[in-house]
Amino acid sequence: MSARLLPTDPASIGGHRLLARLGAGGMGVVYLGRTEAGALAAVKVIQAEYADDPDFRARFRREVEAARRVTSPWAVPVTGADPDAAAPWLATAFVPGPSLEEAVTRHGPLPARSVRVLARMLAAALREVHAAGLVHRDVKPANVLLAVDGPRLIDFGIARASDETAITSTDLVVGTPGFLSPEQAEARGSEVGPPSDIFSLGCLLAYAASGRPPFGTGTADALLYRTVHDEPDLAGIEADDDGDDADTGDGDLPTLLRRCLAKDPADRPTAAQFGTALLVEDTIPEGGQLDWLPADVVRAIADSSSEMLALPDIEPTVAETPGDAEQAAPSRRRLLVLASGAAVLMAAGGVAAWAALRDEDDQGSPAPRDHRWAVGVQADLSGAQRTAGEAQERGARLAIEQFNSSKNKPFELALKTVDDGGSADRARTAAKKLIQDTDVLAVLGPTNDEAANAVLGTYDEALLPLLCVSAGGLILTAQQYRSFVHCRPSDAAVALPISIYLMRQKGKLLPGLLQDRTARTYAQESAWINALMLRRLGRPVYPRVIPADTDDVEPVVADMMRAGIGSFIYAGDARGGVRVARALADAGFDGPRLTPQAVIDPAFLKGAGDAAEGWVLTSSFVDPSAVPAAAAFTAAFRKRFGAAPGYYAAEAYDTVNLVVQELVKGTKGGRPPKRQELLGLLRKSRYKGITKEFSFKPADGTFAGWGVFLHQVEGGRFRFLGAAPSEV
């Protein structure tokens, strides 16, 4: 559960001598600390780069205020905090036991009576939360720590006053999918109140009783959809015989869970009702402890306590050389250097811009004249998406070659490419190869979601910047990574303009929405975002779902025609799109037909033939041959590779030029910035490329621009229409 302190960790924070690391995430580190009086605490310290963000600091200050307002024996109390310190921190009482998530994962579901006791105590904690005018918003197994005398609710990071609206804006989903209420899943911010926490508590209790979330597992969008539309899976959860309310059914665990998981917030019990009507028999004997957990979990708590309370020796401070210190903690000043009068080279048409900056105060040794640092490319060059992978590799190579041909460059760059075949297993090996090459300062790739999801954690551990231009699933941003820079909108964001496009059409056309499960996660995300958006715009869809690998789609299309649809949205891949296009043509449907970018594939044009004509498609990429700003790039690409640039070639070219811009900006003494420093530069960067303007959210590296485009099938080809609409 704990790890040794790193050389870069502070020795103390706010009067707490730090003893070990309890965990680390994208925002900061949680340490095991000890006060001068000997009390142990969990000390949460925010990284400096986020502390510099006024919005983030304000959010952290609210977390401290929210946690301090809750006084319950079943909620971890705040013992100290300083949200205004250079490195903001929050200390809470230390609970050495495992989380509920860890206990269930290792030892299986809890007995029904244990779940009932857990329900009563957590409800008591939520009663205090709600009495303080707060809503926790993230009640989940990982946020409940187990102790012999009862559970402890932790993490008030997104708790808010019930009348606050700053974080409840439209379309912002806050919390953990799978443990959210329907009103959270649909981002109905003003409706998220105490009943939302009760729904989440129901999800948590169902997980504790069955070992699985009540709405299954999978991608975020799938979980959100099931939460809103499906009934919870409570199979195998049985009532115990200890309840006093067996006659009425109120004490029956499945009945209690169904009440908590009611779709309508008004149908859920309040936290106070748990202790006054639902679970009154589970009380702690006066002067004693409640024997509420199975023996194996109690042993696990004891083992965990022994491990955590065997405090490590305090290690002596080791003096660092200036070089070591720079490597451990790169200067924040370097991220802000903007040299006026710097030499700027602009390639033809403005396609590649970089600034050669010098710092006269740099004391570092000059770089060897023949040394080459590198940009890596991890791509699918031999698998199903090798066309896109090859296009990206070529776009990146052209950017590097143009940079090296410049006269005033401060150093030369190499391009180092690894082929992962688009598979998760090969992706991990490929990532390790690039990570171990210390000359590689940033990596472009991988090509698809499967490979990207497999290596995000690996690159994160190495703090090697990973820039994705084609992988786009929401799963990539489900967890905050320090090294991830997403250079395109997510798949859901790319599908969103479909709704905007339809709302701009004349007449109130009933949209038909078909989700093809052959495309799995991609189809789910594309369908979910449009169903949500159109409902919010006052035009609910007529939705249908077809099982994976369904060949006969005519009955579904016929049903949608009988429903009177006037427009059609297809969420699926090119193979399924062929069948759907033919079925719509056979039915004589000529209304607007729209689909996101997975259908932009030659196989769709070839298979659908005339039935493909008129289809409108959204994408995260451009056709560079149709973009005036990309004329110089297109000509240079043809000359270098003897062919027109494919999709994603220009995006890769832009991304590498963005990396070059920040490498040169941070150069001192002929040396480019190190990986970690480059990451900070990239997340704060802005770059106007030939495809779009690049900017990112510093907190998580997600794309902050628009970057969505339209294509339409005309004359048997995909014709680029330009930027997709962003407003109704």
Catalytic residues: 138
Structure tokens at 37: 């009086």
Handedness of CA 80, 84, 86, 87 (dihedral sign): positive
Rounded distance between C-alpha atoms, residue 447 and residue 476, angstroms: 13
- What is the DSSP annotation of 194-209? HHHHHHHHHHHHHHHH
Taking a C-beta distance cutoff of 8 angstroms, is the pair 672, 663 a contact? yes
For residue 534, give Cα distances in angstroms to 158, 186, 298, 511, 710.
Answer: 28, 12, 50, 9, 19
Q: In what order do the strands lie in the sheet with 440-444?
A: 412-419, 372-379, 440-444, 466-468, 484-486
Q: What letter would DSSP give residue 78?
A: E
Q: What SS3 class is residue 235?
A: coil
Amino acid identity, residue 233? Answer: D
Q: Tell me how far apart the alpha carbons of residues 397 and 656 are, in angstroms, rounded to a whole number.
A: 9
Inter-CA distances, 581 with 123, 516, 611, Å:
52, 13, 5
From first CA to last CA, the distance across the chain in angstroms is 50
How crowded is residue 322: how many other Cβ atoms within 10 Å of its Cβ?
9
Q: Where are the alpha helices (DSSP H) in 409-553?
A: 424-436, 449-462, 491-495, 497-503, 520-536
For residues 130 and 197, the answer to whether their CB atoms sit within 8 Å is yes
Residue 704 in tokens: 């902050």
Size of the chain, expressed as the number of residues it contains? 728
- Helical (H) or strand (E) element with 270: none
**Rounded Cα gap, residues 406 and 182, in angstroms:** 56
Q: What are the tokens at 143?
A: 């946020």
Identify which of 560, 562, 597, 592 has the alpha carbon closest to the alpha carbon of residue 577: 597
